[in-house]
Chain A
Amino acid sequence: MKKKEEYIVRFNLLERIQHVVLFITLIILLITGLSLKYYDTGFGKFIISLEGGYQNRGKIHIIFAFILVALGIFHFIYIIFSDKGHNEIALIKYRKKDFQDLKKSFKYNFRISKEKPEFAKYNLAQKFQYWGVILGCTLMIFTGIILLLKVWGIGMIVPKWMWDITNIIHSYEGMLIFVVLFVWHIYDVHISPDVFPMSTVWLTGKISKDKLKENHPLEYERIFGKESAENEK
């Protein structure tokens, strides 16, 4: 007898829209940015030509950088002034338990212990990826503003050597974000056998009750109560 699948709303519409805007922006920023970083390779030149040449590449990069800044401001307002956002950030922030979970997770992954760490709404990887994106984007936005002020002829607001460092950080940090997001996050939401070919949470915002129980047992307990969780076992 097949049980009818039940779903839990994991992300509301506003959060899903923020996610879509974020990934579209980041993909375009990474393509336009990294093609300049690797301008001297045939592939880089090809991508720049697709972007409409050297001048257009810069324009596209700057336009989407501003979309990213706007998104950042919106997100900041969302987590501070909306109850939903406020609750989410409380769930996503690091707590003492996370370090214990990290230890457990290492032991579990390396087959030292069979005890699986139990996660709430966000597991370790998800928390790390969230804060990685926040930190990375903040760094990119601030270094980007310093570079942009020079490009727009407003002035070199830091000495040349610091400006060069800013430039280096902007360039390498872009590569780092690319590696983390496009290897780790893509694995988690596309390649991983649990979700292959794609997790639909980003579209529907819904997660099945079974999946929630399996991957986020503490969240399951919070929603359905401890008893219900134990009864179903």
Chain B
Amino acid sequence: MNGFLGKNLPKMKNKFSGKIFHILSLIVFSLLLMGFFPRYLFTQTQIQKCTICHGKKDFKVQLDDGSVRNLFVEEKLLKESPHYNNNCTDCHNDIVEITAVGHTKNVKKVQCTRCHFENNPVGAPETQMYKDFQESIHQQEFLKGNPKAPVCQSCHGSHDIKYRKSLSSVELKKKISKMCGQCHLDIYSSYSTSIHGVALFDKNSPDVPACSDCHGEHKIRGHEDPGSSVFSTKIYNTCGNCHASASIVEKYGIKSDKFQTYESSFHGIAMQFGEKTAANCASCHGVHDIKSQNDPTSSIHSNNIVKTCGKCHPDANANYTKGKIHLNPHSEEAGSIYYIGSFFKWLTIITLSFLFIHIMLDLIRKIKLKKAGK
């Protein structure tokens, strides 16, 4: 850089011109530095003012209901988050004045949508998510005034927000499951002992579904909402997202024909005609507690099938267990069922062929006779 500039230097006779160039280039260089690493330059003073109090590890306050709230904010976490460039008051915008005794105690919850909306002027990532969230059961509960209803920061974190890509798929799924489990504790405990949960937590399988894979993320709806991905007439498609895909399930020794065999079964056909009471995947396999058929506690273990079928079919008896459930009559694996089906298929084809020949011969002769008769 200096060499390039230096070429022009001898033309300028002034002694000081060299020095000015050096100073100028230093200023330009510092500006560039500030451009690339602004967090070390601009936000420092403002954050420092807040961290006088909030930087102390034992900075706590007792709330009206007697509980103690920790007000310590680790500066390091904030610096590593995507919001490293923001000031504290960018989000906590209701704090306008800090006096000797601190600021107002009624600090409101941060509104993420202040920046995160479409075409926002401050350059925050543009997203549809806040719109999706409006329809979700979480937002509906929040609007009803349920104090436990989650808002953005309940799941995404507040000061410690991280980029989604900063975690691997498995880590993310584990984190999501635990995140949802903070409120949905019962479900978390049955999920974590299910075949999906065990595969995620013990075997670190990247393919298993975490909560959001079935329920959706921002659009989560109640399971009785017809728009939900886990509504009774929709769940088989949701399970099918993975279980109809050979590339996902077959490496775990699970056949990918389960979706197709369900679809062509009585239950599946009724389901496709919108019969809500027809059995879906979860009716037999369970919901969060899905387990392998080899597990004695599984609803589809051979000892439990009669009981499972009995939920809908009070007449269920041992005959229900004597045969394959996910049956594909067009595959040779179906055994006698396949061969009897094939027998009838060929019988029909051969009968049709004979009839065709018979009718053609008969027709030709009768037409000839008629012509001769005339």
* Residues in chain A within 8 A of chain B (CB atoms): 36, 39-40, 48, 53-55, 109-110, 150, 153-165, 168-169, 172-173, 175-176, 179-180, 183-184, 187, 191-194
Chain B residues whose CB sits within 8 angstroms of the CB of A160 once the complex forms: 319-325
Nearest chain A CB to B338's CB is how many angstroms away? 9
Q: A155-B317, A157-B319, A165-B340 are in contact. Are A183 and B348 (CB under 8 A)?
A: no
Chain B residues whose CB sits within 8 angstroms of the CB of A169 once the complex forms: 340, 344
| CB–CB B344/A156 < 8 A | no
B341 interface residue per 8 A CB criterion: yes
Residue of B nearest to A110 (CB): B361
| CB–CB A179/B352 < 8 A | yes
Residue of B nearest to A193 (CB): B366
Residue of A nearest to B341 (CB): A168
Against A, the Cβ 8 Å flags (1 = close, 0 = not) of B260-286 are 000010000110111100000000000
Residue of A nearest to B335 (CB): A161
Chain B residues whose CB sits within 8 angstroms of the CB of A153 once the complex forms: 313-315
A176 contacts which of B314, B351, B358 (Cβ < 8 Å)?
B351
Number of A-B contacts (CB under 8 A): 103
Question: How many angstroms between the C-alpha atoms of A39 and B329 in the bound complex?
Answer: 16
**Dominant SS at the A interface?**
helix
| CB–CB A161/B344 < 8 A | no
Residue of A nearest to B321 (CB): A160
B88 interface residue per 8 A CB criterion: no
B344 contacts which of A36, A159, A176 (Cβ < 8 Å)?
A176
Number of residues on chain B facing chain A (CB within 8 A): 44
Nearest chain A CB to B260's CB is how many angstroms away? 11
A156 contacts which of B275, B320, B324 (Cβ < 8 Å)?
B320
Chain B residues whose CB sits within 8 angstroms of the CB of A55 once the complex forms: 275
Residue of A nearest to B275 (CB): A54
Question: How many angstroms between the C-alpha atoms of A169 and B341 in the bound complex?
Answer: 7
Question: How many angstroms between the C-alpha atoms of A165 and B329 in the bound complex?
Answer: 9
Q: A158-B319, A187-B359 are in contact. Are A194 and B366 (CB under 8 A)?
A: yes
| CB–CB A161/B351 < 8 A | no
Chain A residues whose CB sits within 8 angstroms of the CB of B316 once the complex forms: 156
Chain A residues whose CB sits within 8 angstroms of the CB of B264 once the complex forms: 40
B324 contacts which of A157, A161, A172 (Cβ < 8 Å)?
A161
Question: How many angstroms between the C-alpha atoms of A48 and B270 in the bound complex?
Answer: 12
Residue of A nearest to B344 (CB): A172
Contacts beyond the supplied A54-B275, A155-B317: 8 A-B pairs with Cβ under 8 Å: A39-B269, A164-B323, A164-B327, A165-B336, A168-B341, A172-B348, A179-B352, A193-B367
B345 interface residue per 8 A CB criterion: yes
Question: How many angstroms between the C-alpha atoms of A110 and B337 in the bound complex?
Answer: 38
Chain B residues whose CB sits within 8 angstroms of the CB of A40 once the complex forms: 264
| CB–CB B370/A163 < 8 A | no
Chain B residues whose CB sits within 8 angstroms of the CB of A192 once the complex forms: 362-363, 366
